[in-house]
Chains A and B, each alone.
Chain A
Amino acid sequence: MAYSDASSAFERRTSTQVAIAHFAESPVIVKLAVLWLVMILFIAVTARWIMPYDYQETALLSRLLPPGATGTSGDFHLLGTDHLGRDLLSRLFSSIQLTMLVAVFGTLFGAVVGSCIGFVAARFRGWVDDVIMVLVDFQASMPFVIIALSVIAVMGTGNMLLFILLVGFQGWERYARISRGMTLSAVNHGYAAAIRLLGAGTMRVYLRHILPNILAALVVQVSINFPETVILETSMSFLGVGIQPPNTSLGNLLSYGRDYLLNAWWIAGVPGCTIFFTTLSMSIVGDWLRDVLDPTTNSGT
């Protein structure tokens, strides 16, 4: 009802400048979280080149070395070695790479597919909408890991592409729900209805007006979904039904380490902390993004 007079002293800024300004004003914890994520991404991209040793190379004489130890062959192991004498740092880098690969591509896949499904439901309404909504409800009422496990049970382990798609599919119903709901409310009430009355075609309304407006909400959902995807992937790898040797994910690493808690806690501790800090950072950044992107807190007076 009350419109503030924002016009008189308004500074024009580009969206990049706004984004940078927002980030500069963010709390320290958000900056730390972003720093951690940047580091993880850097490792994920460059793992192949920066890992000191081959992550699969075993050295039975240098088993279970503590962090900072030097093996019998004179190799220095910053994070020690595992039960087969493999360099833990190299294995960690390789695991980060694979975990991030699954998480990033899986999340993107789920986000795109889920949002499109929701969009389609809102666009066509009628029976299409009904069928999609029944599926969405069904998905929402089943723990996704159970569905993933039953597919794995049939298809077997070891198919990496299938695994990425499966893990990524997690949370599709939430994207579908958000894009459907927001599209419908835009079509029915506000600006979209006005533009339709001007004679605009459906595609124009959806692509030029609705999509840019719901993008922020979808981005926030991605930031919520991403840590869940990481946890799902690492859980399944931990349980032995995800990434299979010789490939290794953070979940696999942790799973090996659990048998050596008594005398080599770092084997479990290092990958565990890496997963934890990554999901924590993502949650912190996600919360912050939600505050920044949420139009109700952003433009409110």
Chain B
Amino acid sequence: MEGPAEKLKADYSTPLEISGLTVSLKTKAWKCAIVEDVSLRVRSGEILGLVGESGSGKTVTCLAALGLLGPAWQTEGEIRLARTRITDAASASQLVSVRGREAAMIFQDASASLNPIEKVGKQLTKTVARLRGVSTGEAREIALDLLRRVEMPDPEERFHSYPFQLSGGQNQRVMIAVALAGRPELLFADEPTTALDVTVQSQILDLIKSLRDETKMGVVFVTHDLGVVKEVCDSVAVLYAGRIVESGSVERIMNAPRHPYTLGLIESMPTLSGHVPEGIEGQVPAPDKRPQGCAFAPRCDKAQERCRTQLPLGARSDGGDSVACFFPLEGNLGRTERPELSSHSRPADGPSTDALLSLKDAACDYDTRRGKFRAVSGITLSLNEGDRLAVIGESGSGKSTIGKLMLGIEPTSEGTATFMGNPVPILGTSDHIAFARSVQLVPQNPFLSLDPRATIGSQIEEPLEIHGIGTRQERRARRCELLESAGLSLDLATRYPHEISGGQCQRAVIARALALRPKVLICDEATASLDVSVQARIIELLRELHRMHDLSIVFITHDLRLARSLCSHVAVMRSGQLVELGETSPMFEAPEHPYTSQLLASMPDVEVADSRTMETMQ
């Protein structure tokens, strides 16, 4: 074969080799590098974790390797996929014969990555027939077999389902089956489990590992979650602002990170054993505003003059250890345990005189087109002053409904919701206005919960205005106070939401919620849309606010690690039922309900395995 795709002698031992890859977004007027000078190598049977926060260029790297970027992108550098060398990536569209056969890819949103109007079995069959050149009849058999191999429940029946009839996890299994159709030597997995529940995630991760063992294919596993990396990967490459800053084996990186960013990232991860995450100050620079020297220098507390002007030699992920830093860290990760937040010890479900907010036998029905749907039932729990209660569960467990009951967004269908002895008023009634001063919400997506056409300052002031608190000057003064306590600089007050970052938006939302000096803050997946280093800083903020302002917090989350690091009590929800309720540390150490143990076991964690290795080492 001539042209850009040049066939090489089979080199099964390293199905992917990238060196000096630079990918830029290009228009007539400007050109902006998203990924710079990335070098990677994946051996067969190896799972390489490509880790980084949003905007670090990890997905772009994978798409570039398969030539899947659009015409606005330009790639330079050398890429070799299995037997094919791509010398001129600009004509990568000629790579059609390589894709699916030598390297395949699975995506984050599996349900959206399948043709919505074709049955999954048919899509799979067509792909098998095309990639393996067999008849439709044979392809059907192979397709069914593939569905069995990805451990699809009832494969014969699911074969005739449309993607929208399957769950996210099942769709991801289909995607994996499709990826296996051409017996690739390399699999790119782009955040394949990010959108899934933890229990499903751990099944998919196990599946990917066992398929790797079976087929000996190399895997590039893109993720932002170091816990997942620890679970599945053999080696890691950490990306920051488009460059690899550090690479090496999983054990080495997790135990003795050498780049300050890697350390920061690990420190940002909450753990099941109660590590309190410490974030990294500042934000990832936008691709067109990357600094001249080391991109991490502005956020690095060890940075020196040299870091700001010179670029350290790039790290290469080629099996050995490598770090792009002038002053790499030495030694093992030393954890300084931070003091636990004080909390009165008490059974969370017991009758309590000073209960602020409580639900008693509460149930909630939603009206749907097919009649009533009971979202939660028989919920009894209470929040005392100064408590930090985590409500954890997977999607559809009814955890958000508990928040809605507490906020009066939904009325209880059975049982009661009370606040300081009185029933929680329903949103829209006149009683609710007074209630709103005591109980406030921090919703999941900060960007959506701010009015796009009003300034941050005016939105923080708005609750005071609504409740007629203070004069104009007093409100202005309070606004500054709030901005400060939320860790925002005062000049952000005149900005609009789209002009500030996600973390700053979430801080603004928290400031707005605090304006009325509420007693209770209900955080509904308040950090789920943020990067880990930013999430850690928000958690820090919440801990501080709790300490300073005598605030009680209900923290609704799917992430048990966050619950562990922030909350004094935990309520575990499953299919609308409360399965376990109690204090955090005892429950995490010895869960009573099997579902709680299952959740704990499924949660990828940077520390569990860590302490294990430490033990074996000693």
B463 beta carbon closer than 8 Å to chain A: yes
**Given the contacts A197-B427, A200-B466, A3 and B452 also touching, CB distance less than 8 Å:** no
Give the docked Cα–Cα distance between A193 and B436 (Å).
Answer: 13
What is the predominant secondary structure among interface residues of chain B facing chain A? loop
Interface pair A2/B441, CB less than 8 Å apart? no
B551 beta carbon closer than 8 Å to chain A: no
Interface pair B432/A199, CB less than 8 Å apart? yes
A263 beta carbon closer than 8 Å to chain B: no
Within the complex, the shortest CB–CB distance from B410 to chain A, in Å, comes to 12
Give the docked Cα–Cα distance between A1 and B499 (Å).
Answer: 15
Across the two chains, which residue of chain B brings its CB closest to A2? B54
**B interface residues, tally (CB under 8 Å):** 47
Give the docked Cα–Cα distance between A200 and B501 (Å).
Answer: 26
Give the docked Cα–Cα distance between A212 and B455 (Å).
Answer: 13
**Given the contacts A190-B449, A198-B462, A213-B452, A6 and B500 also touching, CB distance less than 8 Å:** yes
Interface pair A197/B451, CB less than 8 Å apart? no
Instruction: Identify which of A7, A197, A204, A209 contacts B407 (C-beta below 8 A).
Output: A197
Which of B74-82, B301-309, B504-512, B593-601 contacts its partner? B504-512
Within the complex, the shortest CB–CB distance from B374 to chain A, in Å, comes to 21
Instruction: Identify which of A1, A4, A6, A191 contacts B451 (C-beta below 8 A).
Output: A191
Contacts of A295 in B (CB 8 A): 452
A19 beta carbon closer than 8 Å to chain B: no
Across the two chains, which residue of chain A brings its CB closest to B56? A2
Q: Which of B476-509 contact A (CB under 8 A)?
A: 492, 494-495, 498-505, 509
Convert B397-424 into 0s and 1s, putting 1 for each residue whose CB lies closer than 8 angstroms to a CB of A: 0000000000101000000000000000
Q: Which of B121-151 contact A (CB under 8 A)?
A: none
Interface pair B499/A7, CB less than 8 Å apart? yes
Instruction: Identify which of B55, B283, B467 contacts A199 (C-beta below 8 A).
Output: B467
Instruction: Identify which of B432, B443, B498, B502 contacts A194 (C-beta below 8 A).
Output: B443
Interface centre among A5, A12, A198, A199 (most CB of B within 10 A): A198
**Given the contacts A3-B505, A5-B289, A200-B466, A209 and B451 also touching, CB distance less than 8 Å:** yes
Contacts of A204 in B (CB 8 A): 466
Within the complex, the shortest CB–CB distance from A73 to chain B, in Å, comes to 60
Q: Which of A197-216 contact B (CB under 8 A)?
A: 197-202, 204, 209, 212-213
A297 beta carbon closer than 8 Å to chain B: no
Interface pair B453/A197, CB less than 8 Å apart? no
A195 beta carbon closer than 8 Å to chain B: yes
Give the docked Cα–Cα distance between A259 and B491 (Å).
Answer: 70
**Given the contacts A5-B284, A5-B286, A198 and B516 also touching, CB distance less than 8 Å:** yes
Interface pair B498/A6, CB less than 8 Å apart? yes
Give the docked Cα–Cα distance between A201 and B436 (Å).
Answer: 12
Across the two chains, which residue of chain A brings its CB closest to B463? A198
Contacts of A150 in B (CB 8 A): none
Give the docked Cα–Cα distance between A295 and B453 (Å).
Answer: 11
Interface pair A299/B504, CB less than 8 Å apart? no
A9 beta carbon closer than 8 Å to chain B: yes
Within the complex, the shortest CB–CB distance from A201 to chain B, in Å, comes to 8
Interface pair A8/B449, CB less than 8 Å apart? no
Contacts of A12 in B (CB 8 A): 494
Give the docked Cα–Cα distance between A295 and B496 (Å).
Answer: 13
**Given the contacts A2-B54, A196-B427, A198-B512, A7 and B501 also touching, CB distance less than 8 Å:** yes
Give the docked Cα–Cα distance between A5 and B54 (Å).
Answer: 12
Convert A38-49 into 0s and 1s, putting 1 for each residue whose CB lies closer than 8 angstroms to a CB of B: 000000000000
B96 beta carbon closer than 8 Å to chain A: no
Across the two chains, which residue of chain B brings its CB closest to A7? B500
**Given the contacts A5-B284, A7-B495, A204-B466, A191 and B450 also touching, CB distance less than 8 Å:** yes
Contacts of A195 in B (CB 8 A): 451, 462
Interface pair A1/B289, CB less than 8 Å apart? no
A124 beta carbon closer than 8 Å to chain B: no
Interface pair B501/A197, CB less than 8 Å apart? no
Give the docked Cα–Cα distance between A191 and B498 (Å).
Answer: 13
Known: A200-B462, A295-B452; 20 extra A-B contacts, CB below 8 A, are A3-B54, A3-B503, A4-B55, A5-B283, A6-B500, A7-B501, A7-B504, A8-B285, A10-B499, A193-B443, A194-B449, A195-B462, A197-B409, A197-B441, A198-B512, A199-B432, A199-B466, A201-B466, A212-B453, A213-B453
Task: Please provide the 5 A-B residue pairs with the shortest distance between their CB atoms, ordered closest to farther.
Answer: A199-B436, A3-B502, A190-B448, A194-B449, A2-B54
Which residues of A does B touch, CB under 8 Å? Answer: 1-10, 12, 189-191, 193-202, 204, 209, 212-213, 295, 299
